Amino acid sequence: MNLSENFRIALRALSANKMRSILTMLGIIIGVGAVVALMAIGQGATASITSQVEGIGSNQITVFPGQLRGGGRNALASTQQATLFLSDYEALEREMKNITAIVPSVQANSTVTYGQETVSVNVTATTPDYVSVNAYTLARGKNFTANDVARATRVAVLGSDTAADLFSGLNPVGRKIKIGGVSFDVIGVLEEKGSGGFGNADNLILIPLETGYDRLESGSLVRSGRKTVSSIAFSAANAEVVEQVMMEAERILRREHGLRPAEESDFSLFSQTQLLSSLSTITTTLTIFLGAIAGISLLVGGIGIMNIMLVSVTERTKEIGLRKAVGAKRSVILTQFLVETLLLSLTGGLLGVLVGWGIAAAVTLANLITAQVTWESVALAFGFSAAVGLFFGLYPAWRASRLRPIEALRYE
Amino acid sequence: MIEVRAITKIYTMGDNEVRALDGVNLTIGKGEMTAIMGPSGSGKSTLLAILGCLDVPTTGAYALDGISVEKMSDDQLAEVRNQKIGFVFQQFNLLARTSALDNVMMPLIYRGVSQKERRKKAEAALDKVGLRERMHHRPNELSGGQQQRVAIARALVNDPAILLADEPTGALDSKTGTDIIRLFQTLHRDFGQTVIYVTHDPFIARHTRRVVRMGDGQIVSDEAIAQPLEAGAPRPSDLALVTSPVAG
């Protein structure tokens, strides 16, 4: 009685009952496939949400003029006064530590035209770092330089939606547009950022800061000889120092504005700390969600496999009795069932992984979500199902093989 | 050949103790053909299962071919069943969806016989029961009588010292049952096969030279039949079996 002989008995028993073998395998295929597919979809959802939130630039801190009351951006707009100056920016840039970049911006809604097309766009006069601080990249052309800022050249970089609105498909780089009646050269177009920030992040025009003071006709950009800014944005070196950086910035600005300790600040520091905390809530929720999906599908798959194995092997108690009656030893019977359940579990597990992978691919192809099959989920699903299949395949066989042949044969 | 001494078999069902066998003594010699008879619940099937090593006695001694088997381990009993015993069941107990040939070859696998030898022996066994030409048929393609003959071929394939049959005709009509009994008589007469079968039917029992009657777990009579019936003989109106007790 050698192993290959045993293998042959198992194969013969499996092929003699093709339907039962296929159904048993189907249970495993569905169990494993469900786990792999669900986990891939969950993983894809997490990755997509995380990348969208990361696109906002989560270490970013922004200073707005005026005191923010009641919370929210709309409240800010109504209390906005021109109480931030370019000199504030210069002081922050000079003295702040633990920041990676600092960018002032002056904003004005302007009418922009190209040929017959006219749109109203938020034009932002700023420094070249605006692009990197706000996590933009250039799709075409180039960014303006510090030199452009110093010389107040009339160049513009367009957001992707603005470019599409104005040029409807034409390459804007090298063409001229009019901002508030003044002619500008388009030198670059930003990559689409998509939603995820506030408002439409792709509908904007960037121009050099000094050009803005020269050309934007918002009137009050220069107040009693001092250049004002709409906001100052900077990035903390990392998430841990955000609070500390904010306190430092507040101290410098209060000093610059000559505020006494009792006086309220005439500016607002807005960090994305709230966003950060909500982000961590989201990812925690997603992790729990994902774990629950994996757990439940493993449980359901496992119960399916357990049932079909228990039923199909228990049903064969009589066969086990008969084999014993004609002289099979316990070890021989257990080996036969071990080989059988191994074959079923491994083949079913493998097919299940393929099915799960196929579902993940189909979901991705259908553009629903970019599902990510991870090898951990494959290993988990495969390992768990194989273990469950093996245990619940062998256990009834072991139990039946312990019966006296006459008892096993009497089993109905 | 078979020597059973003071055998009991006790089943415990809840608080109740059921004595299926209650002190049975029995000796059956080589080449004998014996019927064990009795009403249901008399312990005849339990005795046969113990004789076939499919079950073990609660107490008592059982020597098969001079070897004491009552203390044997599970695996040792499997070996004894494989090499010395052929067992035929009332319900045939063939593997479904498996050809007659494969069914008959099964005991040989567990004996470690080579594949080529297995086939030769299985074909020879099927030949003995007259089913050689149907060896590739599956149980569901065979009649009840044919299935029972496949089961007998399976029991014979290892050249067992004893052939045991538990109500072999119980699931068959009387004509087919007669055929099975005829096969037993042929095996007994032409090959010297030791045959023991259990039946509740006095007519079927009367086809042997010896009838052991059981009741309430004990042997109530052990009779020799002077003129056993030939298979195919008409059922006599008078089924009195008493002739003379078996000597010894």
Q: How far apart are CA B188 and CA A404, in angstroms?
A: 29
Q: Is B22 on the interface with A (CB under 8 A)?
A: no
Q: How far apart are CA B246 and CA A118, in angstroms?
A: 124
Strands laid side by side in the B16-28 sheet: B16-28, B2-13, B59-64, B67-68
Q: Is B82 on the interface with A (CB under 8 A)?
A: yes
Q: Inspect the interface and report whether the beta carbons of B106 and A325 lie closer than 8 Å.
A: no
HSE, side-chain direction, 13 A CA sphere, residue A322: 21
Q: Work out the average pLDDT over B55-80.
A: 93
* pLDDT band with cut points at 50, 70 and 90 for residue B138: very high
Nearest to B28 by CA among B63, B54, B55, B58: B63
Q: Inspect the interface and report whether the beta carbons of B110 and A318 lie closer than 8 Å.
A: no
Q: Inspect the interface and report whether the beta carbons of B87 and A409 lie closer than 8 Å.
A: no
Is the predicted pLDDT of residue B244 greater than 60, yes or no? Answer: no
From chain B, the residues in CB contact with A318 under 8 A are 93
Q: Inspect the interface and report whether the beta carbons of A327 and B89 lie closer than 8 Å.
A: no
pLDDT in tens, B170-207: 989 989 999 999 999 999 999 999 999 999 999 999 99
Task: Record the pTM.
Answer: 0.68
Chain-centre distance of CA A266, in angstroms? Answer: 37
For residue A234, the cross-strand partners are A61, A102
Task: Provide the 3-class DSSP secondary structure of residue A63.
Answer: strand
Residues A190, A136: contact at Cβ < 8 Å?
yes
- Which residue of chain B is at minimal alpha-carbon distance from A13? B98
Nearest to A360 by CA among A29, A48, A36, A31: A36
For residue B34, the cross-strand partners are B196, B210
Residues A215, A181: contact at Cβ < 8 Å?
no
From chain A, the residues in CB contact with B79 under 8 A are 327, 329
Chain-centre distance of CA B161, in angstroms? Answer: 11
Strand A222-223 versus strand A176-179 pairing type: unpaired
Q: How far apart are CA B100 and CA A90, in angstroms?
A: 98
Torsion angles phi and psi, residue A193, rounded to 5: -105, -25
pLDDT for position B59: 94
From chain A, the residues in CB contact with B83 under 8 A are 327
pLDDT in tens, B73-126: 999 999 999 999 999 999 999 998 899 999 999 999 999 899 899 999 999 999
Nearest to A119 by CA among A127, A131, A109: A109
Query: Which residue in A12, A328, A409 is closest to B78 by CB distance?
Result: A328
- Tell me what ipTM this predicted complex has: 0.92
pLDDT along chain A (412 residues), means of 10: 77 84 85 86 79 66 74 43 82 89 89 88 91 85 91 92 88 90 92 64 89 76 80 84 87 89 84 67 78 80 81 87 94 89 89 93 86 88 87 89 90 79
pLDDT for position A124: 92
**Residue listed under structure tokens 């093709």:** A18
- Which residue of chain B is at minimal alpha-carbon distance from A328? B110
pLDDT for position A194: 65
Task: Provide the 3-class DSSP secondary structure of residue B35.
Answer: strand
Strands (E), A163-230: 176-179, 182-190, 205-208, 222-223, 226-227
Query: Which residue in B82, B89, B96 is closest to A327 by CB distance?
Result: B82
A107 Cβ neighbours under 8 A, 6+ residues apart: A122, A123, A124, A125, A230, A231
In angstroms, the separation between the Cα of residue B103 and the nearest Cα of chain A is 10
Q: Inspect the interface and report whether the beta carbons of B107 and A327 lie closer than 8 Å.
A: yes
Chain-centre distance of CA B65, in angstroms? Answer: 16
Q: Which has more pLDDT, B71 or A282?
A: B71
Query: Which residue in A329, A406, A407 is closest to B75 by CB distance?
Result: A329
Q: Inspect the interface and report whether the beta carbons of B110 and A327 lie closer than 8 Å.
A: yes
B240 Cβ neighbours under 8 A, 6+ residues apart: none
pLDDT for position A55: 60
Query: Residue A181 burial by CB count (10 A; 0-12/13-18/19+): exposed, middle or buried?
Result: exposed
Task: Provide the 3-class DSSP secondary structure of residue B92.
Answer: coil
3-state helix, strand, coil in chain A (%, to 5): 55, 20, 25
pLDDT for position A57: 59
Q: What percent of chain B has pLDDT over 90?
A: 81
Q: Is B93 on the interface with A (CB under 8 A)?
A: yes
Crossing angle between the packed helical segments A18-54 and A3-16, to the nearest 10 degrees: 90
- Which residue of chain B is at minimal alpha-carbon distance from A404? B55
Q: How far apart are CA A157 and CA A181, in angstroms?
A: 17
Strands (E), A195-334: 205-208, 222-223, 226-227, 231-236, 267-271
Please give the C-alpha separations between residue A266 and each of A64, A73, A272, B54, in angstroms, as whole numbers.
Answer: 9, 16, 20, 98
Residues B226, B244: contact at Cβ < 8 Å?
yes
From chain A, the residues in CB contact with B122 under 8 A are none
**Residue listed under structure tokens 């009952």:** A17
Residues of chain A whose beta carbon is less than 8 angstroms from a beta carbon of chain B are 1, 5, 9, 12, 16-17, 318-319, 322-332, 404-407, 409
Q: Work out the average pLDDT over B132-156.
A: 95
Strand A138-141 versus strand A182-190 pairing type: antiparallel
Nearest to B181 by CA among B149, B211, B154, B210: B149
pLDDT for position A261: 86
Is the predicted pLDDT of residue B27 greater than 90, yes or no? Answer: yes
Chain-centre distance of CA B49, in angstroms? Answer: 9
Q: Residue B28: how many CB atoms within 10 A of its CB?
A: 20
